[in-house]
Structure 1
Amino acid sequence: MSTSIYEGLVDMISLLFSLFTSAVAARDTFYPPLNHTTFITNTSLGTYGGIYSAPADQASSPSADDVYNYCSMPHPRLETYSLPLPIVNGSTSGRLVYLEYLQRHQRRTPYNILPGGENQAYNCNNLQPFLYAAPTSQNPSPLHVYAQSYSDPTNPFLATYVNGSCQYPQLTVGGFLDGYQHGRDLRAVYLYKLHLIPSDPAEESGRKVWLRSSSSALTQESAGGVLRGLWPEYQGSLPLHQQAASVDTVDQGFSCSARSDLLSAIESTPVWKEHLTVTASLRNQLADMFDANTSSWMSTFDHFADNFQARLCNGYSLPCSLKDESRCATQQQADEVFRAGDWEWNYWWRHNANATRYIQLVEGLFIGEVVQHLEAVAKGTSTLVYSHSFVHDGDLGPVLGALGIKALRWPGMGSNLAFEIWETADSEHYARVLYSGRAIETIHGTLDWVPLSSLLAILRPFVPEDIVSMCSAA
């Protein structure tokens, strides 16, 4: 075969593959082929159709196809929401009687500041994080003080940190506006269209609505934006329930030595080591560029992905080295970091042999709380119609793993799970589970209209019988 013919065939195959992966990404960006490390190293995959950009000071615009958007994940919207098929085709009649809604907080500044320092200042002057407490009687009423971060140029530690007016992490104004739109869309679907959520949250709120968050300011501030969108005219205050931080059943609040021991075992397997091997060149390049040759930055892609995501999701550029500003992270490097992050999340919660036990240790108690809510609906003893929990990616991931999601990408900002429970005319209960606005695809099939008992059977194995004993086991 001549060189020109061979090169022509290579170009044609490359083009066909590019068109194929683009088509797959447009149709199914939530479910990439994550079970092999070639997903990480295949540069032609890019972001696998995912979006990693958002305007700095505005709400994110929804994409036409509601694709995987790390900065602002899709959620139920009136424009894209569809009723269950048995309701639409008239094969059964029924009504929505309960909604269990879980979501990650909205977009924010990074947790992880580059060890060598940041070359761009973060600005948060357009958001006011309020900090105050009030007696139950509301008398005397507090002064509404808010935290105003600033950088003192005389602070000697600033040289290797980041200038600006933000805390790390903190909700950004774009994240707040995304949350407000998130709430408006939930209002359109679940209050106006399906008549489930009450129009006045204070009216019988103790019996019909349950709002919950972690102890993090990120989730609490996100709740403020989302709930304002949901109830735009309400002028009172609402309880956002939280457990004590040291025993919280979300955000890994309670201490559990077995949890960290099992994670160490998971990250010592040949498969995990293989992904470190195939990404060694990338990790070494980034470590050299950003003085990040430490175990916390090199053992997983969590820190680099977090830093890059937070920049791109808030209108900033990828970072450059402070020592040599001509050396900057490239988009191709960022794409590989994001693919590696997706691979790691899928391995932690779906693909490793100890995933079930790990989910039990991390999120089993919270899954048990969800199961209790659903069981009460099944028994007809629930007084709630709507429960909304504002949590973290580390909570959404294990719940998605427990559901058996076909492939788990890193749950992006505002990721959400809607457990809809429908009651038919003959008093049977059916469930469907929407992940970021559409029925989740799992190893059990698409959870679009299944008996509630079947959903409970999927979740119950992940609820530990004795978490105290499990956590203290050697």
Structure 2
Amino acid sequence: MAAVNLSWFPPSASWITDLAVVINGTGTQGFRFNGSGLPELGQYSYCNMEHVRPQNYQVPSMDKYQLVYVELVHRHHKRSPYAANGFPKEIYPWNCTDEGLIYSSQLLCPGSHSSTNTYWSVYISPSNPFQPPGLYGSCQFPQITSGGLDDSYQHGQDLAAVYRDQLDFIPANPDGSVSFRVTNNVITSQVASMLIAGMFPATAHNSFPLLIQPAAIDSLEPAYTCAPATALYGTFGPNSNNSVWQSHISAAKSLWATLDSISGVNPSDSGFHMSMDHYFDNLSSRQCHAMPLPCSASNSSACVTQAMADSVYRIGQWEYSWQYRGSDRSVEAAVGAYGVWFAELAQNLRDSVAGQSIVKYRHNIAHDGSVSKILAILQVDNMVWPGMGSEVVFELYKVIATGKYALRILWGGIVLKSSNPTLGSVDMLDLDTFLAYIDGLVGLNASKVAEYCNKK
């Protein structure tokens, strides 16, 4: 086994890690929180993050390296907010009448009856005296919006333009060499339905299998139980008494008070006050869909300003950086919470090298909490809140001259830089070194994760 350093190393200092700049600054330091236009290479656009596409993809020297396996994971695309993140009384609806959420079942045996693709059409009966609290309209909360579906389709087209058209790596039509996986949250399947059609146009209006693990043990979301990891996050993240975390809570008290007075959120609502997550989702979801920032339901002149929203976005960036990279316990917590997925990745890489799997392209559609933990374990040098469509790609290459294998990791379309010296800039890193790093943290078949999570 290659010698590796499994220690935590801090991220590089930036405005995101500087609490004084986060609290007292203005604007968003060039970060975008509106629209769906894809950003310039290296630019942060929360509503539609940069991903692999022909305009930015760096093709390795084909006389030196042969691409043999790709595993990709990304956050879903933009959506309506989660119901829990709505204000007690919302002042305008979210309408999704331009799309249908198809819920149906199909018998797979040859000769079986065919089913109708039924979809939900949300309505509110005038005879029903009860009105929905908080977020309302014809959307589900959450659901991928029409804009998010368009972004998903474009994402699929961009990936096909690289891995099919440029590299001739994936087939024109899907076969056993490609695989797609989702979580038990239906929004990932909504993204998959459009992304796959963008990647493989012949699949449109046809059935296509999506891999999914049982809800209680899903490693992609993740949803398996790891009480020690949950408890550890609770010592330095939301709801903790950690001095660093509490310092940012105290520094943002006046902002929280102003937002509460406008939104009608009770100051004792822990969901809105243990972190900036709920306000971040509520406001960014609106701005990603060109909706106005909200005003008070009881005073139309009291409104959330852009400066307030920008402060929420800056604080959200700081919170994610601290939870997933800033704390020296962040790697340990992420290994417990997400180590099983990394064990699966390691086995997929080994199977590819050994010729034991026909799958050469695996595509995982997940969440910001998934991507954050991946970046935590990889110890990304500059941590951000993974925006909509945020993408991490693991590319396995055979070194033609030696027959050995090397790994390249792309984050937002460019080579990922890790603070850990074993990984560094992950550009043709010896595969054995990467596997030794992952095995050292999670164990073969996640044996160390199981031992850690089952501790009494």
TM-score over 0.5 for the pair: yes
Q: C-alpha displacement at 1:302, in angstroms?
A: 0.8
Q: C-alpha displacement at 1:128, in angstroms?
A: 0.7
**Matched residue SS, 1:34:** helix
Show structure 1 runs of 5+ residues with no match.
1-29, 55-59
- 2:430 is the counterpart of 1:451: yes
2:318 maps to which of 338, 343, 350: 343
**1:261 alignment counterpart:** 231
Where does 1:453-468 land on structure 2 (aligned, <5 Å)?
453-463=432-442, 464-468=446-450
**1:182 alignment counterpart:** 155
Per chain length, whose mean CA-contact separation is higher, i.e. which structure has more relative contact order (CA < 8 Å, sep 6+)? 2
Q: C-alpha displacement at 1:154, in angstroms?
A: 5.2
Contact kept, 8 Å, 2:85 with 2:281, in 1: the verdict is no
**Matched residue SS, 1:421:** strand
- 2:247 is the counterpart of 1:274: yes
**2:64 alignment counterpart:** 93
- 2:75 is the counterpart of 1:104: yes
Give the aligned CA root-mean-square deviation in angstroms. Answer: 2.0
Report the Cα distance in structure 1 between the residues aligned to 2:381 and 2:221, rounded to whole angstroms.
24
Contact kept, 8 Å, 1:396 with 1:411, in 2: the verdict is yes
Where does 1:383-402 land on structure 2 (aligned, <5 Å)?
383-402=358-377
Q: C-alpha displacement at 1:151, in angstroms?
A: 2.9
**Matched residue SS, 1:381:** coil
Where does 1:7-406 land on structure 2 (aligned, <5 Å)?
32-44=14-26, 46-54=27-35, 60-84=36-60, 87=61, 93-111=64-82, 112-137=84-109, 139-153=112-126, 155-158=128-131, 160-202=133-175, 205=176, 208-234=177-203, 236-266=206-236, 267-292=240-265, 293=267, 294-406=269-381
2:257 partner amino acid: N
1:230 partner amino acid: M
Contact kept, 8 Å, 1:108 with 1:169, in 2: the verdict is yes
TM-score with structure 1 setting the length: 0.86
Structure 1 residues 179 and 159, CA gap change in structure 2 (3 angstroms): closer
1:329 partner amino acid: V
The answer to which of 337-346 and 450-459 deviates more is 450-459
Structure 1 residues 361 and 458, CA gap change in structure 2 (3 angstroms): same
**Matched residue SS, 1:418:** strand
Structure 1 residues 438 and 66, CA gap change in structure 2 (3 angstroms): same
> How many aligned residue pairs are there?
430
The structure carrying a bigger helix percent of its residues is 1
Structure 1 residues 446 and 468, CA gap change in structure 2 (3 angstroms): closer
Structure 1 residues 326 and 460, CA gap change in structure 2 (3 angstroms): farther
Q: C-alpha displacement at 1:71, in angstroms?
A: 0.5
Q: C-alpha displacement at 1:303, in angstroms?
A: 0.5
TM-score with structure 2 setting the length: 0.89
Report the Cα distance in structure 1 between the residues aligned to 2:102 and 2:441, rounded to whole angstroms.
38
* CA offsets 1:219-255 (integer angstroms, 9 cap, x no match): 0110111110100123542210001111211223223
**2:9 alignment counterpart:** none
The answer to which of 158-167 and 415-424 deviates more is 158-167
**Matched residue SS, 1:431:** strand
Q: C-alpha displacement at 1:380, in angstroms?
A: 4.2
Q: C-alpha displacement at 1:156, in angstroms?
A: 4.9
Report the Cα distance in structure 1 between the residues aligned to 2:24 and 2:433, rounded to whole angstroms.
38
Report the Cα distance in structure 1 between the residues aligned to 2:85 and 2:329, rounded to whole angstroms.
31
* CA offsets 1:107-161 (integer angstroms, 9 cap, x no match): 0000134332211211100111100001112621111110111233555553742
Contact kept, 8 Å, 2:229 with 2:334, in 1: the verdict is no
Contact kept, 8 Å, 2:409 with 2:426, in 1: the verdict is yes
Show structure 2 runs of 5+ residues with no match.
1-11
